[in-house]
Amino acid sequence: MATITAEMKQGMVVKINDGRHTWIGDEPVDAKGTDMGPNPYELLLSSLAACTCITMRLYADHKGIKLDAISAEYSHDKVDVSEIPGREGTGKVDRIRSKINIVGDFDEAQRKRLTDIAGRCPVHKTLANGVFLVDAVSFDAK
């Protein structure tokens, strides 16, 4: 089970820790932050990009496919529900787009399989399937 802690004392800078690593998140200046780190959506997209690259490397290594390099670019925006094929309703929905580039010499079967694997990383599956959130909030006296 993964556990992340985040702590904010002043401003928008958030100190994030997983027990082994520490990094920060922030907001851009125009959102009242100091732009000292990625914003929360950028952190989300970075998780997806890292997971995609790692999953594809693990698959290629397991199958003995020589994969020279991989890059994954993800972007997030909100669009009207009517723009999403197969979706009905009104309002906005989150959209994440990917651009994945794989470098190497592959036959057609390998290309097809690597394309399929691009959408099979655990973070992609979590986002695509939805998440069951359980929130607990507590208060401490000053």
At residue 4's C-alpha, the angle toward residues 72 and 134, to 5°, is 100
H runs (alpha helix) in 4-138 = 40-63, 108-117, 122-129
What is the overall mean pLDDT for the chain? Answer: 95
Are 51 and 26 part of one and the same domain?
Answer: no
> Is residue 141 assigned to a domain?
no
Domain containing residue 125: 40-129
> Is residue 139 assigned to a domain?
no
Are 53 and 112 part of one and the same domain?
Answer: yes
Query: Is it the case that residue 13 has pLDDT exceeding 90?
Result: yes
Q: What is the pTM of this model?
A: 0.90
Are 6 and 73 part of one and the same domain?
Answer: no
Are 52 and 112 part of one and the same domain?
Answer: yes
Are 1 and 68 part of one and the same domain?
Answer: no
- Of the pLDDT bands very low, low, confident and very high (cuts 50, 70, 90), residue 89 is confident
So what's the pLDDT on residue 105? Answer: 96
Tell me, what CATH number does 50's domain have? 3.30.300.20
Tens of pLDDT along 57-80? 999 999 999 999 999 999 999 999
Report the number of distinct structural domains present in the chain: 2
